[in-house]
Structure 1
Amino acid sequence: MTTTTSTRGRRRAPTRMERAAGKAAALQKPRVILALLLLLALTSIMLLDGYLRAEVGGDQRVRDGASSSKVPDKILNGGPIITYRAGQATTLSVPDKTIALTFDDGPNPTYTPQVLKILQKYDVPATFFLVGSMVSRYPSIVKDMVDEGNEVGIHTFTHVDLSYQSDARIRREMTQTQLALAGAAGITTTLFRAPYSSETDAIDNYSWPVYQKLGKDGYTSVFVDTDSDDWKKPGVSKIVSWATPKKNKGASVLMHDAGGDREQTIKALPKYIEKMKAKGYTFTTISGVIEKDNTGNRQAATATTGGAAGATGEQPVGGPEANAPATGTGSTPSRLQAAHRTATGATLYEGKALIVAVAVAEWTVPALSVGLIIVGVAVMGRFGMMLILARRHYRQRNKRRFSWGPTVTRPVSVIVPAYNEKECIANTLASLSKSTHPIEVIVVDDGSTDGTSEIARNAAHELGMTNVRVIRQENAGKPAALNNGVRSASYDIVVMMDGDTVFEPETVGQLVQPFADPEVGAVAGNAKVGNRNTIIGAWQHIEYVMGFNLDRRMYDLLRCMPTIPGAIGAFRREAVLQVGGMSEDTLAEDTDITIAMHRAGWRVVYQEHARAWTEAPGSLKQLWSQRYRWSYGTMQALWKHRKSLTDKGPSGRFGRVGMPLVVIFQIVTPVFAPLIDVFTVYSMIFVDFQAALYAWLAVLGIQLFCAAYAFRLDREKYRYLLMMPLQQLAYRQMMYLVLIHSCITALTGGRLRWQKLKRTGEVGTPAGVS
């Protein structure tokens, strides 16, 4: 055993690169927070959009004691308008030969503008009972509606039956709709119509408390005298007939400008208006009916008291500052409808904020939907490509006649960079001592402070290994340690492995056989997770077998292998020196040198029979640190070699094939892959739970199939696949955040030093791993 030790002197001052690394490390926490905030923003947008498009919470009977509130007979037998005067519920009827034309469920971008155009043409006002979620999605329609002299009322925010909801839900439905109206048209309203309501005689003991509560809050509840039943699409003539009051009576008439196909309503409306005008009817709004009733009451009071109008203290529902609405014109009024209030202060600004938020959601969700389709196609395409090419690769490499060339038997150098590897270095050397291929071992201690070099010397001595050299250097990072080892190597083939990795006896011999082909410059081995008995280890085991090794088979067949893993890789010493050695420009020195070798014209291959056993991180924090370094380093390496896209000839194959595949499959697709999970949750909550669940299970089934095939190729035990559903729910989400974090770091800049993970040394000889 030979030992080389560098001169130990005073610690040098940190270099500019190291100072930059320290600053970058200090910025990582804010970047993690930013990544989480981006995910939170996306989730909030999805929830808002789902809330706008679906009824949340369901119509459940949650109102305590509602059935004990009996509806007064005067309400059941009264008119379609319920107001509260002096704290008492009072009903109003529409005067004879008068139509209060009302529309429910809007606004709708297709039908509401057509309705407004017809009303304007015939100089007829109407009252629109609007769904708040639709108002927030189509605010310009509501503004036009109000500007043209029409009246608006509340039809709840999500079209939910308030009869079965809690007081908090009722208050939320009303407040949110008022905010939507404030943001859209700068107004609030005192009018309300409950979804699923009809005539007053249909009020039951569950709904009556709702109307009482809202009445005391200042709302006027509006019902129906005559229902056109246009939602049934019975035909134009029937809609007109069913909307016509009997015996010249006045009526609150219901039609719909949204909620489905309203083509028949659009055709029936002008015919209905013409018919009613021909019969001598006039059209008004709900406020017009109320104001007319108030005027009649004041005149009656004047006649009785000799002019003491208003002695009762009653005021119109619209308030003393409101003006009577137009009763026969659709032209733009100079003042508000009586039921409308000008929105001011916090209500106005909160309403505008709601409109902006909804606009963002309206643009974002469709864009994400398109992204989901693209990601879905890419993910399925990747699975298909991996399966087809991996199977072809397996058949090609396992043919009896397959050979790389003459058997490689000459000795090779094994380089082991080590930084504080006291737990693992002895196991690593023990595994190398059993190598069936002649080797020399070079342990490069990169300034360890835990006695790694002494442990390595002692282990080599106890194992009787005379082919081990231990080189000490000041801490300079993993690339520098590897370059030191390459310079010190005695042989033309160098094998690189991590200080926490163990080899099987045949690993080195299998790994170097491809060098029989003079075109081969580097060989990637098959990295295995040794501590797979832990949850994190089992998750990583699945990922290594399914992701990394299926990928490597695919890339090998396409001749564009992107990475020689640090845990197990072999290089021609000549090729390493030709490309300038291991670069310190990126965090992924293994990816960096692999791409450099492609560009230098060397072939890089995968040898699946050369296995190495490595230790998975023992905690989520360490896992995050490891994967962050990998993903960010890969981005750095791809950016560094971006000019490979224009390389010509055989050396340009990686740029033409490998670079696009790596960018699509390892960066773009994973970054947007969370869309699949986000939309799955979105669909479960707002669309169809069962269908969404089946879709998610189908995707999981495809992944399980691919994983099972990968396990079969690697002759692994299938029992670990039982962890895959949990991996999809937890581990994969963490990998998404890591990649997003890496993207943010890449966009904002920054560097990291060689990060050391805490090891336990539990991965021993391969024979002990099952």
Structure 2
Amino acid sequence: MRTAADPSAGRPPPQARRTRGARRTRRVRRSAPPPSWALLGVLLVVLAGVLFVGAYANAAFVPDRAQHDDGQDRVPAEVVNGGPIINAADGQHRSYRLPARTVALTFDDGPDPKWTREVLRVLDTHQVKGTFFVVGSQAARHPELVRELVAGGHEVGVHTFTHPDLTTLSGWRRRMEYGQTQLALAGAAGVRSSLMRFPYSSHADAIDDRDWPLVTEAGGLGYLTVLNDTDSRDWALPGVDATVANATPAGYSGAISLWHDAGGDRAQTVAALDRFIPLMKERGYRFTTATEGLNLTLAAAGIDHQVTGNPVASGAERWQGRMLVWAVQGADRTLTLFGALFVLVGVLTVGRTVLLLLLAGRHARRRRARDWTWGPPVTEPVSVIVPAYNEKEGIAAAVRSLATGDHPGGIEVVVVDDGSTDGTADIAEGLGLPNVRVVRKPNGGKPSALNTGVALARHELLVLVDGDTVFEPDAVRRLVQPFADPQVGAVAGNVKVGNRDSLIAKWQHIEYVIGFNLDRRLYETLRCMSTVPGAIGGFRRQALVYAGGMTDDTLAEDTDITMALGRAGWKVVYEETARAWTEAPATMGQLWKQRYRWSYGTMQAMWKHRRSLLDSGASGRFSRRCLLFLTLFGVLLPLLAPVIDLLALYGLFFLDRTATVVAWLAMLAVQFLTAVVAFRLDREKLGVLWVLPLQQFVYRQLMYLVMIQSVVTALTGGRLGWQKLRRTGLRPTVRAGNG
């Protein structure tokens, strides 16, 4: 009885019949739109802007500024000895204290989603209003809290946008800090503020010659500088009793009291406030906001002037403020997303590395064991199909290497000239090799040429190759040995880069060894091989026919047919000892064309076979494994990998540089480890790996852009034409056979 797994069966297995039906899809039209460089450029500019906003809004808080003592020679004595509210407008300077038995509770560094609300709860319980000096970036992140403060009758003031040491900034940077905070207030609650408190400021008697210009500059901009009389020092977490004691003014003097509603755990602050407010009320104190207390002082002095702490912002300021709020929130979400993607890329990279080290290593050890065999030696004759279109530079070397192979059963070479205009067919015929046939046909594309060659081939074992590939003498013999296993339908050979002199060729050599051959060991072990390379692939005729033959449904006919074979229940294996040498693209432009076609063609094949995910039997099992690995490691990982470099660049400028460099080097070390393992398994020299670090700066970026363009083309329904690479005719030095 013959079974579906038996290649001699008289009828195809059910999966094969289903696969053939699935392959009757609409053919891809070949006209190609120009790459969307303008769109890509706009996206990069927008992304750069978002990251800059994120970098600015996320400027790190520092525990304290560097200590300095610049003296007080230029600070007026009445300011040093005056009150905590300073008006330095119009070139004059006046300072004010709050009336006796009056306290203004002021809070710095918020708003904070947790602790600001806890502080408000205590203030509302005791019916007290406070003055909140907000950090602009925090106000933009939590505009609803600013609205709650204003709606509740509390006062808001400016505490800069990123909480820097203002004495270290230039004038325009300081004005930017003030202005962006004002916009954040306008966007969040529709108000402005005339109150300013500098980060790291203290009492009036602590102002020195380095601080005084900040006060006069703020006065010129229309701000009242608000310092403090008492500092609760809650930031130091001294305990509730000490916090209350620190905030309590001497005697019955008025005081502006400094607290914090953000910047860490403020549980002690909340508990101390809950005790401090009733205690001060028992002593006869009243609580006001900073401007309310100033107005009381002005009225007591007979000055007919009232200060408005939070005037209404103009319509233009509110719109600009909303834009700022959206920009900061968008930047935060983008950075959060990038952080999650960074973790995802790390997990995928490490997971892939672990799989490769474990399974690919086991595959190599099993194949190299002395007792390993595919079965009885395969000595059947082989037909080699060479589709050729304008391959005059390399066709002679390719055909000669195939025709003179040492396979004992004999080799028939069928060169299918697909309408070449450069004399390719004449060159092949001129070789005068007795086992070479040249077939001429009108141009119809590579799949058409392959199908023609298969139809004309005399033998059941077929080798499909590219017209520019040079085989080692024993490559055909070794490639067909796995067909001793009747379940094997196709065999992937080992493609080597022959022109390794240039830097770009060395990078491709590394990629071939790691990304292709090492992966094929993994995918064979998992029974989900997705591609038998067009440069060197062996097929059983019956398997090829069962799968529907070559089609031009996609640009990656090799991936398409391999997936069809897997769905049909055939085993697809990798034979590392069957080596063929190819000429890799020598320029970035040629490389781009080749990889763009590969990437886009692979996505087309994935889309074409997507419905097989729901199939039962061999088709479904293969598709679920194959499409999962292709999605994770063939599309998602390359598409997201730029996050590593983007965050590394971002970190060098805006984050901890040491941590950034260490993280980037760790990822490079993982890649280097993978490369060493791959080169050892493939018995390649390690010397070329010195270019691996350089690969991260140019070659990888090119591959990123190729993948992005391929995805954009796929999502927009763009069409891509066949790409013909220009060959130089450079021939590799082929190693001797493997014995």
Answer whether TM exceeds 0.5 for this pair: yes
Match of 2:138 in 1: 134
Give the 3 Å change call, closer, same or farther, for CA 559–167 of structure 1 in structure 2. same
2:364 corresponds to 1:373 = no
Question: Is the contact made by 2:496 and 2:509 (CA closer than 8 Å) also made in structure 1?
Answer: yes
**Residue from 158, 161, 164 that aligns with 1:160:** 164
The match for 1:256 is 260
* 1:638 maps to which of 606, 610, 615: 606
Q: What is the alpha-carbon distance in structure 2 between the residues aligned to residue 494 and residue 57 of structure 1?
A: 70
Query: Any conservation in 1 of the 2:88–2:218 contact (CA below 8 Å)?
Result: no
User: Cα–Cα, structure 1 residues 246 and 354, in superposed 2: closer, same or farther, change >3 Å?
Assistant: same
In the TM superposition, 1:450-469 aligns within 5 A as: 450-458=422-430, 460-461=431-432, 465-469=433-437
Q: Which residue of 1 aligns with 2:666?
A: 698
Count how many residue pairs are aligned between Structure 1 and Structure 2.
708
SS at match of 1:414: strand
What is residue 528 of structure 1 aligned with on the other side? Answer: 496
In 1, Cα distance between equivalents of 2:64 and 2:424: 68
Residues 21 and 343 of structure 1, relative CA distance in 2, 3 Å threshold: farther
Which residue is 2:480 aligned to? Answer: 512
How big is each residue's C-alpha offset from its partner over 1:54-75, in whole Å with a ceiling of 9 and x where there is no partner?
33999999xxxx9998322222
Partners of 1:615 and 1:207 in 2: CA distance: 68
2-structure distance, mates of 1:199, 1:246: 15
In 1, the alpha carbon distance for the partners of 2:38 and 2:440 equals: 39
Show the counterpart of 2:209: 205
Letter in 2 for 1:181: L
Distance 1:640 1:288, change over 3 A: same
1:79 to 60, 76, 83: 83
1:287 corresponds to which residue?
A: 291
Tell me, in whole angstroms, the C-alpha distance in 2 between the residues paired with 1:147 and 1:210: 31
Q: Which secondary structure state, in structure 2, belongs to the residue aligned with residue 759 of structure 1?
A: coil
SS across alignment from 1:766 = coil
Q: How does 1:413-424 map to 2 (within 5 A)?
A: 413-424=383-394
Distance in 2, matches of 1:262 and 1:737, equals 47
Matching residue of 1:184: 188
Secondary structure of 1:490 counterpart = coil
Could you tell me how far 1:246 is from its partner in structure 2?
A: 0.7
Amino acid at match of 2:292: G
- The code of the aligned residue for 1:466 comes to P
Structure 2 counterpart of 1:543, one-letter code: E
> Cα deviations across residues 52-102 of structure 1 (Å, max 9, x unaligned)?
2333999999xxxx9998322222222111113433122222222111211
Match of 1:492 in 2: 460
Task: Measure, in 1, the Cα distance between the counterparts of 2:428 and 2:77.
Answer: 96
Check the 8 A contact 1:602/1:651 in 2, yes or no: no
Structure 1: how far apart are the matches of 2:498 and 2:165?
Answer: 58
In the TM superposition, what is the alpha-carbon distance from 1:41 to its structure 2 partner?
A: 4.5
The residue number in structure 2 matching 1:444 is 416
2:664 counterpart SS class: helix
Output the CA distance in 2 between the equivalents of 1:56 and 1:496.
64
Taking the TM superposition and a 5 Å limit, the aligned residue runs for 1:598-677 are 598-677=566-645
- The alpha-carbon deviation at position 604 of structure 1 amounts to 1.0
State yes or no: 1:539 paired with 2:502.
Answer: no
Q: Which secondary structure state, in structure 2, belongs to the residue aligned with residue 86 of structure 1?
A: helix
**Amino acid corresponding to residue 595 of structure 1 in structure 2:** M
- What amino acid is aligned across from residue 488 of structure 1 in structure 2? L
Q: Distance in 1 between matches of 2:184 and 2:422?
A: 65
- 1:488 to partner: Cα distance: 2.1
Q: Which amino acid aligns with 2:326?
A: V
Q: Distance in 2 between matches of 1:75 and 1:431?
A: 94
Q: Judge conservation of contact 2:27–2:553 (CA < 8 Å) in 1.
A: no
Query: What residue number does 1:236 align with?
Result: 240
Q: Distance in 2 between matches of 1:484 and 1:44?
A: 55
Instruction: Output the CA distance in 2 between the equivalents of 1:467 and 1:82.
Output: 100
- 1:39 is displaced (CA, Å) by 5.2
Contact 1:427–1:764 at 8 Å: present in 2 too? no
Which one-letter code corresponds to 2:392 in the other structure? K
CA distance 1:361–1:209, shift in 2 (3 Å): same
**Counterpart of 2:35?**
29
Please state if 1:342 is matched with 2:312. yes
1:118 aligned partner: 122
Within the candidate set 540, 558, 565, 2:526 is matched to 558
Instruction: Tell me the TM-score normalized by structure 2.
Output: 0.90
Residue number among 694, 705, 719 corresponding to 2:687 in the alignment: 719
The letter for the 1-side match of 2:329 is A
Cα deviations by residue, 1:529-566 (Å, 9 ceiling, x for unpaired)? 12222121111111111121111001112222110011
Displacement, 1:506? 1.2
The amino acid of 2:448's aligned partner reads: A
Judged with a 3 Å threshold, the aligned counterparts in structure 2 of structure 1 residues 168 and 532 are, in CA distance, closer, same or farther, namely farther
CA separation of 1:474 and 1:178: change in aligned 2, threshold 3 A: farther
CA distance in 2, matches of 1:613, 1:215: 76
* Residues 98, 296 of structure 2: 8 Å contact kept: no
Q: Structure 2: how far apart are the matches of 1:363 and 1:606?
A: 44
What is the DSSP-based 3-state SS (H/G/I as helix, E as strand, rest coil) of the residue aligned with 1:156? coil
* Residue 3 of structure 2: aligned partner: none
1:14 match: none
**CA distance in 2 between partners of 1:482 and 1:186 (Å):** 71
More displaced, 724-733 or 547-556?
Answer: 724-733
Residue 277 (structure 1) shift: 1.4
**Distance in 1 separating the partners of 2:46 and 2:447:** 39
* Cross-structure match for 1:304: none
SS at match of 1:563: coil
Uncovered stretches (5+) of structure 1, i.e. residues with no partner: 1-16, 301-308, 310-314, 319-337
Query: What amino acid maps onto 1:340 in structure 2?
Result: N
1:237-279: CA deviations, max 9, x gaps?
Answer: 1111111111211111100001111100000112111111111
Distance 1:343 1:417, change over 3 A: farther
What secondary structure, in the 3-state scheme, does the structure 2 residue paired with 1:505 have? Answer: coil
Return the alpha-carbon distance in structure 1 between the equivalents of residues 209 and 687 of structure 2: 59
Cα pair 2:165 2:199 within 8 Å, conserved: yes
For residues 174-222 of structure 1, the C-alpha deviation after alignment (integer angstroms, 9 at most, x for no partner) is 1211121111111121211111110122222222222222211111111
Distance 1:267 1:594, change over 3 A: same
Q: What amino acid maps onto 1:468 in structure 2?
A: V
The one-letter amino acid paired with 2:411 is I
Question: 3-state SS of the aligned residue for 1:661?
Answer: helix
**Residues 519, 126 of structure 1: alpha-carbon distance in 2 compared, 3 angstrom cutoff:** same
Residue identity matched to 1:394? A
Q: Within 2, Cα distance between the matches of 1:177 and 1:611?
A: 66
Deviation at 1:432, TM superposition (A): 2.7
* Secondary structure of the structure 1 residue equivalent to 2:631: helix
In the other structure, the counterpart of 2:7 is none
1: CA distance, partners of 2:316 / 2:694: 46
**Structure 2, unaligned stretches of length 5 or more?**
1-25
Residue 352 (structure 2) aligns with? 382
**Counterpart Cα distance in 2 of 1:506 and 1:46:** 55
Is the 8 Å Cα contact of residues 35 and 744 (structure 1) preserved in structure 2? Answer: no
Query: What SS does the corresponding residue of 1:704 show, helix, strand or coil?
Result: helix
3-state SS of paired residue (2:697):
helix
Distance 2:219 2:582 in 1: 71
- Return the TM-score normalized by structure 1: 0.87
CA contact 1:405–1:517 (8 Å) conserved in 2: yes
Amino acid at match of 1:21: R
C-alpha contact 1:56 1:686 (8 A) present in aligned 2: no
Distance 1:53 1:185 in 2: 22
Cα distance 1:44–1:526, how it changes in 2: closer, same or farther (>3 A)?
farther
Aligned pair partner of 1:214 in 204, 215, 218: 218
Distance 1:164 1:251 in 2: 30
Q: Partners of 1:582 and 1:564 in 2: how far apart?
A: 13
Deviation at 1:104, TM superposition (A): 0.5
Greater shift in the superposed pair: 549-558 or 410-419: 410-419
Q: Distance in 2 between matches of 1:346 and 1:734?
A: 43
